[in-house]
Amino acid sequence: MTISREVRLKSRPVGLPSPETFELASVDVPEPGRGEAQVRNIWMSVDPYMRGRMMEAKSYVAPYQVGKVMDGAAIGEVVTSRDRALSPGDLVLSGFGWRERFNAPVGMLTKLDTRDVPAQAYLGVAGMTGLTAYVGLLKIAALKDGDVVFVSAASGAVGSIACQIAKLKGHTVIGSAGGPEKCAFLREIGVDHVIDYKAEENLTKALMRTAPDGIDVYFDNVGGAHLDAALASSRTFARFAECGMISQYNNTSPGEGLKNIGVVVPRKLRIEGFIVSDHLDQQPAFQKDMTQWIAQAKIHWRETVDEGIENAAGAFLKLFSGDNFGKMLVKLA
């Protein structure tokens, strides 16, 4: 028997999650059964979409259950295997985050190739995070030559990859982020025009000043005032890839509401929400492109790493305060 600590949903949060939302517990992990492996997690991911799973409402993924361990993406090392497909020491990607150790059928574990890509990058730039940026830009927004691209939360895990893919494809990119440090990073990765939204009183005016001829693509991670600004600045036939609305996830009331939706008709906009798991057909193309871009040092990324399962809830909360920088990770071992 081995002890594993895990994080459970203690109660469903109203508004911003608090210490009352999470509960740290210990469980015994038995020996793995036939066809299973035991994995010791090394890295786990915290992601904005998990806020949605804390609510009871049915959505595109099942809600977390009160009193039960949460889940999410994690990378771990196989410690025991009862299947020939995996051996001790193998690094695997799984959906069994928010815990230190677990048993799972080997079919639920993806063995990783870490020759060119560091393991934890499979939770970010080389994983679902990067694929989200890739799908949103190339498939949902259907990026085409000459498009001016606006990305919000542009220094974030998804946003920073979206900016760089757009730059690699030759586009003018406008990125918004909060604070001088994040804005400096955007300039480092080649973003053409940077908006520090925390320094702007009126985001719509800031964007219209930055993109006087308007934008053709908006990669939205934020919603709210950012979405209104993008609507105001949109050119005819602009496409909005709606990836997330982190500014809204902890709202307890609908708040102000979106003011500028009226332009959708005369400007013939397309506003489309997407969830990466519906677009796994893009995975092979993404894997090929991204592995090459990483090998050629054409893609840069930041990570914020907190240590220990006991700090996972705090790491999650940084996603909403903006205290993380780039991909937020928790190192478990």
List interacting residues with a copy of itself (CB under 8 A): 52, 59-60, 223, 227, 236, 242-245, 248, 254, 256-275, 278
Q: Residue 297 has what DSSP assignment?
A: T
Of 43 and 49, the one with the shorter C-beta distance to a copy of itself is 49
Q: Measured from the CB of residue 219, what is the shortest distance to a copy of itself in angstroms? A: 12
Of 68 and 259, the one with the shorter C-beta distance to a copy of itself is 259
The amino acid at residue 251 is: N
Q: Measured from the CB of residue 139, what is the shortest distance to a copy of itself in angstroms? A: 12
Q: Residue 83 has what DSSP assignment?
A: S
Of 27 and 271, the one with the shorter C-beta distance to a copy of itself is 271
Query: In angstroms, rounded to a whole number, what is the distance separating the alpha carbons of residues 1 and 14?
Result: 37
CA angle 327/252/63 to nearest 5° reads 60
Helix (H) or strand (E) holding 234: strand 234-242
Q: Measured from the CB of residue 230, what is the shortest distance to a copy of itself in angstroms? A: 12
Q: Measured from the CB of residue 63, what is the shortest distance to a copy of itself in angstroms? A: 11
Of 242 and 289, the one with the shorter C-beta distance to a copy of itself is 242
Q: Measured from the CB of residue 296, what is the shortest distance to a copy of itself in angstroms? A: 32
C-beta of residue 136 within 8 angstroms of C-beta of residue 162 = yes
Q: Which of 88, 93, 65 is nearest to 78 (CA)?
A: 88
Close Cβ partners of 107 (under 8 Å, ≥ 6 residues apart): none
Of 168 and 232, the one with the shorter C-beta distance to a copy of itself is 232
